[in-house]
Every structure is written in C-alpha cells, then in structure tokens.
Amino acid sequence: MPTLVYTESALQARDAVHDEILPAGKGWLHPIRAGQYFRILDLEGNQAVDTLFFNAADAGDRYDAINTIRAQGNIFLTTGTRLISSEGNVLLTITADTCGRHDTLGGACSAESNTVRYALEKRHMHSCRDSFLLQMAHSREGLTKRDLASNINFFMNVPVTPKGELTFADGVSAPGKYVEMRADMDVLCLISNCPQLNNPCNAYNPTPIRLLIWDPPAAG
C-alpha cells in the first residue's frame, strides 16, 4: 500500500461562493465552472462520498476510471491526480488532499449489491445508485441511468490484495479531512453522500459532508 501523502489548501471557507452541508443519504447535482476550486470536507470522519463528474457541455463525456488510472499509473487518487474523461479530457485536477488516498474501483452501493454483499432483506435499503438516479431524474441536463459510470469514492478505503481482490475496510479519513479540486473545464458534479449502514468504510454510521466552491483567484 502506498504511503499516504497530505497536502493542505490555502483557501479559507469564509471566501467560498458556495458553502453547503449535505446530509448522509442525500444526493447533489451542481455545476462547477472552469477555474473554480471545489472542496469536499468529511465533517465527522470515514464518510464515503460517491462522486461522478460530467463535461457540462456534453454529458456523454464523463469521468472515466480506466483513463484516470492509466494516466497516473495508480489506482488511488490524491494530490496531483488529473480526473480524465471518457473522451480523454481533463475534467478536474486534485490540488489538495488531507486524507491521502481515495478509491476509484469500489463502485456505488445498489439494491443488487446490498443483496449480494449482505442479505436478501437488505435489498430495499437506500443506496448510492438510488441517490444518483433521483438527482438525474430532476436534472435540467436530461441525465438518465445510461449516464452512470464507475464512480469515485472519496474518503473510502478499498485495499487491493496481492491476488487483485478488492476488500472493504475501515476508512482512512477523520473529522475535518478534505479533498480539493480545480475544474479544468465547466463540469457537473453528481454526488451521493453514502447512506450505507452495512459497510465498515463509514464505521456503520453515515454522516454529513460539507461542500465548498471558490471562484478563481483574481488576476494580478
């Protein structure tokens, strides 16, 4: 497992142009303009934040896990990672990270995965896929389930065994940890603040997150 590297940001919350608390289990769909900085802050620690990004001008051009992993030669995301789209465009670049590692393989929980991983009676528990679909159903951009792709799980800990198997473990985040990105183009951000009660990634206790956006620094 690679050594965790932490990078602080100089941006102050008081200067943000958008500042919102998103409860556990809720979804969020919001534009981020080119040059803006976007921070996801883990308020209570070990919360999993399932996230997708889309080119705002063409939603068919979306975050692509394979392109991103191949471009950086690493399955984990952290400072310096460029989030690459399905068309090879740079959507955002991670500029600060006080957690040190984020998952891009584990995917989103769903009714089907609740059944397979846990038990039949867990099938109808709320899931990130449901949160994604609810936000898409009300989107002005006309997003549908066909636009869902393999997502990022910010703050989630998914170690890979020597045999290449995925394991879901206690998170590596803590209260106040955050990841921050600069948008390299106009993007749409789709989030499900994970409601999962059966996975140790969030200590079996889904919690709120804080979402902040800053405008680009003034020239000069």
The 3-state secondary structure of 76-133 reads: EECCCCEEEECCCCEEEEEEEECCCCEECCCCCCCHHHHHHHCCHHHCCCCCHHHHHH
Q: End-to-end alpha-carbon separation of the chain, Å? A: 42
Structural domain contains residue 146: yes
Cβ proximity of 136 and 147 under 8 Å: yes
Q: Residue 25 region, left (φ>0) first, then alpha (ψ -120 to 50), else beta?
A: left
Segments forming the whole domain that contains residue 37: 16-214
Quote the DSSP letter at residue 72: H
Structural domain contains residue 40: yes
Three-class secondary structure assignment of 157-190:
CCCECCCCCECCCCCCCCCCEEEEEEECCCEEEE
Structural domain contains residue 10: no
pLDDT at 119: 43
Q: Look at residues 213, 201, 207 and name the one whose alpha carbon lies nearest to residue 175.
A: 207
Q: Total structural domains in the chain?
A: 1
Structural domain contains residue 8: no
Cα separation, 156 vs 101, in Å, equals: 8
Cβ proximity of 40 and 193 under 8 Å: no
Structural domain contains residue 46: yes
The pTM of the full predicted model, rounded to 2 decimals, is 0.88
Give pLDDT tens digits for 140-192.
Answer: 888 988 898 989 999 987 666 676 666 666 667 899 999 999 999 999 999 99
Quote the DSSP letter at residue 41: E
Q: Residue 112 region, left (φ>0) first, then alpha (ψ -120 to 50), else beta?
A: alpha
Task: Per residue of the chain (220 residues), give pLDDT as tens.
Answer: 456 678 999 999 999 999 999 999 899 999 999 999 999 999 998 888 999 999 999 999 999 999 999 999 988 899 999 999 999 999 999 999 999 889 898 776 755 555 445 444 544 557 788 889 889 988 888 898 889 898 999 998 766 667 666 666 666 789 999 999 999 999 999 999 986 666 666 667 789 999 999 999 876 5
Structural domain contains residue 63: yes
Tokens of 176: 């106040």
pLDDT at 214: 98
Sequence-separated (6 or more) residues with CB below 8 Å from residue 158: 103, 105, 106, 166, 167, 168, 169, 201
pLDDT at 96: 97
Cα separation, 54 vs 146, in Å, equals: 13
